[in-house]
Amino acid sequence: MTEITLHLNGTQAAHTVEPRQTLADFLRDRCGLTATHLGCEHGACGACTVVLDGQAARSCLQLAVMCDGRSIQTLEGLRADPVMEVLRRHFHESHALQCGFCTPGMLIMGRDILQRYREPDAQTIRHELSGQICRCTGYAGIVDAIVAAGREIGTATR
């Protein structure tokens, strides 16, 4: 077992972890942060996307011990985030979810896109979402939601 300390959703946390435990398993099993979903466990589906040191990252590809001293935000830790508030509303209004399994990863990736691109167009969003898999929606609602959120945020910052 290895002792790690990390900044998790705005709080300093110390835990003992097995060296081979993934960050995704650690977040779900040890911390009870179940918005981090496990799909493929190979980094291909994006269901486990979290914010690691300010950037979207696949938590199934990170070992928890590799995150010692780092900052991690899960969907639970982004409840009051202003970009996430706008994005969640547009996901609802655009019917951008069905079963909900991919939704946490899609929301985190959508937030990441909106932080990197000012008012991204549909083509940019589709390219940036290429590593996120949704088996239900066909992506149209998801893309529409991120475009609409980007317009709203872009208009508000002018």
What pLDDT sits at residue 158? Answer: 62
Among the residues of the chain, which ranges form H helices? Answer: 23-25, 82-93, 103-116, 122-128, 140-156
Do 130 and 97 fall into the same domain? yes
Tokens at 63, concatenated: 């070992």
Given a contact cutoff of 8 angstroms between Cβ atoms, the answer to whether 97 and 33 are in contact is no
What per-residue confidence (pLDDT) applies to 142?
Answer: 96
Q: What is the full per-residue pLDDT of the chain (158 aa) written as tens digits?
A: 999 999 999 999 999 999 999 999 999 999 999 999 999 999 999 999 999 999 999 999 999 999 999 999 999 999 999 999 999 999 999 999 889 899 999 999 999 999 999 899 999 999 999 999 998 887 999 999 999 999 999 887 76
Please state the domain count of the chain: 2
Domain that holds residue 56: 2-75
Residues 62 and 92 in one domain: no
Task: Name the token pair of 107.
Answer: 């929301």
Same domain, 63 and 96: no
Distance CA 23, CA 30 (A): 10
Whole-structure pTM value: 0.94
